[in-house]
């Protein structure tokens, strides 16, 4: 029994910890695909070798049968693999769909990648490098961007991996089901110290998480991004054209904007307002003109606003429920 399980472990390449809700589903799917591939390889190569011996030419003047086709056989070897592929697609799609759609109550953490470190910022502004602290059993949605090149955020124990880019936000989420500390890697070669771009996810109880958020240490600015965003809303002049109470000024109100479906003047398809939409609206206001509003009224802020300021404005706009 012992030698059997050590044999199994030798062939099991998945990380030992299954620390998120969907880790077992990911592992089962991986095992299913691997086993199906091994089975097909053995069956096909085995049959091929057997036929090569069994039906080899036995003499120079041996006549061979003339075989055109076999409808029944061809139907079988088309239909069965098709069914297997549909099965694999189905299980893959279900898991993929889950990994792309965070629940509405997910906790949000902003992740910033740079050469060669990760920074995590929680909703109250608590910021820490390399160490992502999250509460057990609480879905966590990560809103990620890069300050320089392409990186990729990878936590094997959670079975999540997502590219991190400088010109848009990318997202991932997970629901941790195990207390403990788990590795973070960068899996996109990003230069000299790529291999040292490490970090850890620390899963703690919700009480420990609350204490963690409160402990702000010696930081100069203890405001939350939303509070900083509120100040920018006035300082950058957004308040001249955007109300917070739902009323129409020069531009649309920020009330309940995030998560709502936007329709546009310039024939573009409707879209749900998310972080990337807000970012684009600020930087390149002409890209999408909100229906019934004038084009060209909003100045483009490209070059006039930093990524950190945009992130604070997004947090503020999100808080206008
Ligand atoms: C001079 C007026 C004006 C100013 C100043 C202004 N905007 Fe706008 N904004 C508009 C108008 C008009 C629209 C709608 C037309 C469009 O989409 O360009 C708009 C659209 C938007 C949208 C998309 C809204 C939606 O309902 O989909 C966002 C987000 C936005 N602005 C953010 C900002 C932020 C943040 C600032 C400050 C940094 C700002 N705006 C400053 C006039 C303005
Ligand atoms: Cu990297």
* Predicted local distance difference test score (pLDDT) of residue 217: 77
Position with higher pLDDT, 195 vs 2: 195
Q: Is the CB of 179 under 6 A from ligand 1?
A: no
| Mutate which of 225, 235, 281, 316 for ligand 1 pocket (most atoms within 8 A of beta carbon) | 281
Q: What is the pLDDT of residues 90-123, one digit of tens each?
A: 999 999 999 999 998 999 999 999 999 999 999 9
pTM over 0.85: yes
Q: Is the CB of 294 under 6 A from ligand 1?
A: yes
Q: What is the number of the ligand closest to the CA of 194?
A: 2
Q: Compute φ and ψ for 154, nearest 5 degrees.
A: -135, 120
Encoding tokens for residue 275?
């972080």
With CA atoms as reference, report the closest residue to 140 among 197, 95, 169, 99: 99
Q: What is the mean pLDDT of the chain?
A: 92
- In the chain, the domains with their CATH numbers are 2-53+67-100 (1.10.287), 107-214 (2.60.40.420), 225-319 (1.10.760.10)
Position with higher pLDDT, 238 vs 3: 238
Strand, helix or coil at 199? strand
Separation of alpha carbons 148 and 139, rounded Å: 28
Q: Which residues pair with 200 in a beta bridge?
A: 131, 183
| CA of 246 relative to ligand 1 center, distance in Å | 14
Q: Which atom of ligand 1 is nearest to the CA of 278?
A: 29
Q: Is the peptide bond before 9 cis (omega within 30 degrees of 0)?
A: no
pLDDT at 9 over 70: no
Strands (E), the chain: 107-114, 117-122, 127-129, 131-135, 140-146, 151-155, 160-164, 170-174, 180-186, 199-204, 261-262, 271-272
**Parallel, antiparallel, or unpaired: how do β-strands 199-204 and 131-135 relate?**
parallel
Percent of the chain with pLDDT strictly greater than 70: 97
Q: Is the CB of 301 under 6 A from ligand 1?
A: yes
| CA of 186 relative to ligand 2 center, distance in Å | 5
Q: Is the CB of 133 under 6 A from ligand 1?
A: no
Q: What is the number of the ligand closest to the CA of 150?
A: 2
Q: What is the pLDDT of residues 205-215, one digit of tens each?
A: 999 999 999 98
Separation of alpha carbons 22 and 27, rounded Å: 9
Q: Is the CB of 314 under 6 A from ligand 1?
A: no
- Give me the mean pLDDT over the 172-200 stretch: 96
With CA atoms as reference, report the closest residue to 238 among 301, 295, 183: 301
Separation of alpha carbons 170 and 276, rounded Å: 8
pLDDT at 266 over 90: no
Q: Is the CB of 46 under 6 A from ligand 1?
A: no
**Parallel, antiparallel, or unpaired: how do β-strands 180-186 and 199-204 relate?**
antiparallel
Separation of alpha carbons 222 and 225, rounded Å: 9
What angle do the packed helices 307-319 and 225-235 form, to 10 degrees? 100
Q: What is the pLDDT of residues 47-79, one digit of tens each?
A: 999 999 998 888 888 888 888 899 999 999 999
């Amino acid at each position: 029994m012992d030698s059997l399980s050590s044999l199994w472990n030798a062939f099991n390449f998945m990380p030992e910890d299954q620390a998120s809700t969907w880790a077992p589903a990911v592992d089962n799917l991986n095992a299913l695909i691997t086993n199906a591939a091994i089975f097909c390889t053995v069956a096909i190569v085995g049959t091929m070798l057997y036929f090569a011996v069994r039906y080899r030419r036995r003499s120079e003047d041996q006549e061979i049968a003339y075989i055109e086709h076999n409808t029944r056989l061809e139907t079988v070897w088309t239909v069965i693999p098709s069914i297997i592929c549909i099965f694999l697609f189905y299980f893959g799609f279900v898991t993929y769909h889950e990994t792309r759609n965070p629940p509405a109550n997910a906790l949000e953490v902003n992740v910033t990648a740079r050469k060669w470190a990760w920074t995590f910022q929680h909703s109250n502004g608590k910021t820490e490098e390399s160490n992502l602290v999250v509460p057990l059993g609480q879905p966590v949605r990560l809103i990620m961007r890069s300050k320089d090149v392409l990186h990729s955020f990878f936590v094997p124990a959670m079975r999540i991996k997502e590219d991190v880019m400088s010109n848009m936000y990318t997202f991932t989420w997970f629901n941790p089901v195990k207390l403990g500390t788990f590795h973070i890697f960068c899996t996109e070669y990003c230069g000299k110290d790529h291999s040292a771009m490490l970090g850890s996810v620390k899963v703690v109880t919700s009480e420990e998480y609350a204490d963690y958020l409160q402990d702000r240490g010696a930081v100069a600015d203890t405001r939350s991004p939303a509070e900083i965003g509120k100040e920018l809303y006035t300082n950058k002049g957004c308040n001249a054209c955007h109300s917070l109470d739902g009323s129409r000024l020069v531009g649309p109100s920020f009330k309940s904007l995030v998560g709502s479906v936007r329709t546009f003047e310039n024939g573009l398809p409707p879209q749900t307002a998310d972080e990337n939409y807000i970012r684009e609206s600020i930087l390149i206001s002409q890209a999408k003109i909100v229906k019934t509003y004038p084009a060209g009224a909003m100045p483009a802020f490209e070059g006039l606003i930093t990524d950190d300021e945009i992130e604070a404005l997004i947090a503020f706009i999100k808080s206008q429920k």
